[in-house]
Amino acid sequence: MKTVYAIPNCNTVKKALDWLQKNKIAYEFHDYKKKGITATVLTNWCKQVGWETLVNKKGATWRQLTPDIQASISTQKAAIALMMEKTSIIKRPLIEENGKILALGFDETDYKKALK
């Protein structure tokens, strides 16, 4: 079973969920706000795509950080601590199955290749 890691009120996530439903792809939804995320899961993801890819530096959560905090996020360890504290900073949605990332963000072309 695929798991969609995200927050429900994100427009990108809504587009992705609509696409999954339209294409009859079953999934479980993991709400970061309610369930959080573990360092173990984040470390696994970092091994697959790198922490720089997981930290969404284009979003409001990143922009709200002070320049000092932004500058301090220069290692995987620091990034994981930040992602655990502020889950909204994780690029979303992240779709995983059996510990393997299938998709990150929403791109219909990528979804057609990775999820069908």
Q: Which pLDDT tens digit goes with each residue over 38-72?
A: 999 999 999 999 999 999 999 999 999 999 999 99
Q: For the chain, what is the radius of gyration of the CA atoms?
A: 14
**How far is residue 53's CA from residue 38's CA, in Å, rounded to a whole number?**
17
The pLDDT tens digits of the residues spanning 12-33 come to 999 999 999 999 999 999 999 9
Question: What pTM, to 2 d.p., does this model score?
Answer: 0.94
- Measured CA to CA, the distance from residue 107 to residue 24 in angstroms comes to 17
Of 7, 10, 78, 115, the active-site residue reads 10
Domains of the chain and any CATH numbers: 2-115 (3.40.30.10)
DSSP string, 64-96: TS-HHHHHH--SHHHHHHHHHH-GGGB-S-EEE
Reduced to 3 states (helix: H, G, I; strand: E, B; else coil), residue 27 is strand
Active site residue 46: no
Q: In the chain, what percentage of residues exceed pLDDT 70?
A: 100
